[in-house]
Amino acid sequence: MNHLAPCPNFIGGEWQTPSGVTTPVFNPSTGDVIAECPAGGLAEVNAAVEAANAAFPAWRDTPPIERARVFFRYRQLVEANFDRLCQTVSREHGKTHAEARGSIFRGLENIEYACGIPTLLFGDSLRNIARGVDCDTINMPLGVCVGITPFNFPAMVPLWMFPVALACGNTFVLKPSEKVPLSAILLGQLLEQAGLPKGVFNLVHGGRAVVDGLLMHPKVTAVSFVGSTPIAKYIYETGIKHGKRVQANGGAKNYIVVMPDADVAKTVENLATAAFGCAGERCMAGSTAIAIGAAAERVLPDLVKAANAIRVGPTDRAAQPDMGPVITAAHRDRVLSLLASGESEGARIIADGRSVKVPDAPRGFYLGATVVDGVRNNMTLAREEIFGPVLNVMRMVDLDAAIEQANKSVFGNGAAIFTNSGRAAREFTMRVKAGMVGVNVGVPATMAMFPFTGWDESFFGDLHIQGKESIQFYTQQKVVSSRWFGGDVGDVWKK
């Protein structure tokens, strides 16, 4: 019997293991249960929010430069524990070590961004806006902020949220996905070691009851979310109904347009990474390739070879595969069901990963890289987010038709084009309806200093995660107009 990893809450500076109902946490590579995540409830929510609320005044009044020093120390601790974090991510999510390392690096960039908070919080100032009157803007923290994070990036997405929120002077309650709680726990332990005062950061586990409790709690001021579109919409509508500021990132259906003049080798390499990286479980995955004219005949044969060559296997051991498992058996079965619907509706599977076998991990949740040709707009495969290692291929006659197809999607997260034509690239970037656009970049996900700008049903809210928009989201402006009387000041100017 495997030893189960502890899964405590972190409330008011104390690690607490609640009793009661739990949900299993799997190692997707083996199918083994590695932890039991507490279901949680209103008692834990209230305790965490009250602890954060009590800690807020002192943390708000801590000078920004001192808050920054906490994150300089935190960055050092994350770097010192880098391999441990990567192993935890791989074990509970199934990412390869290389994918886990990449995600932790992206998280580190957000910590580094938070270290610049003394400059990022600069306001505006104008002397003598009226006679003897000066005006200043001050960026003030909001209070208790909440992060609700998904299973697909157990460490990176929490690091999109709480470093900037805390550096701005807020306190924080993190609710990680119950499928992957262990990485968040380790991040919290390292934050405690960095010297963050008790109650400033809290962590509670659970499902719907915990989410609703946080959304409706009167002392919560702001909520950040990443997950599926239906849940993002629910988070947004419920949060704003209860007076919260909300940023809710949803799902995606990202199109990659391949022009006839695209570099074949580089395009195939990027398509494979975009579609099959992280087993397709990312909102920036390139899920549909639109081949223009002769591009299909030029690119598809090599793409099929590349997909068939991808080695699938367990990621929790030294010898690493090219691609790991999906998160659960139920998720694997959903992807298989979508592929079956595609076949029944007339699509053709030209690289088939459905029957992949992993002899040394027979109970793992595996799918091979799959390419589906002849996908049409009316098919279920074309409409729904698959979130698995599947690349749909559509064929179209020109760029106008491809842009029209991409713009029909209800989502608007990312889009990309592969071409050597500057004219085609400019046309695409100007006309496609997506918040993040790549030119010969298959996964145009932004870095910490730029916002993660989903559009339409890929995002609900006004201010996005990351970059300057994150500073705006986690602060509110106070405008101070001042005048001082005495002598000539504040009356009339005298020569």
Between the CA of residue 124 and those of 2, 17, 138, 337, what are the distances in Å? 57, 46, 8, 55
Q: Which of 37, 86, 145, 283 is catalytic?
A: 283
Based on the residue annotation, tell me whether 283 is a catalytic residue of this protein: yes
> By C-alpha distance, which of 362, 411, 355 is closest to 383?
411
Tell how strand 14-16 and strand 9-11 pair up.
antiparallel
Between the CA of residue 51 and those of 149, 172, 243, 245, 407, what are the distances in Å? 20, 10, 20, 20, 46
Contact 246, 236 (CB under 8 A): yes
**Helix, strand, coil percentages, rounded to 5, for the chain:** 40, 25, 35
Distance (Å, rounded) from C-alpha 174 to C-alpha 157? 11
Distance (Å, rounded) from C-alpha 239 to C-alpha 171? 18
Rounded to a whole number, what is the distance in angstroms from the first to the last CA of the chain?
89
Q: How far is CA 79 from the centre of its chain?
A: 20
Distance (Å, rounded) from C-alpha 444 to C-alpha 428? 14
Catalytically active residues, by annotation: 283
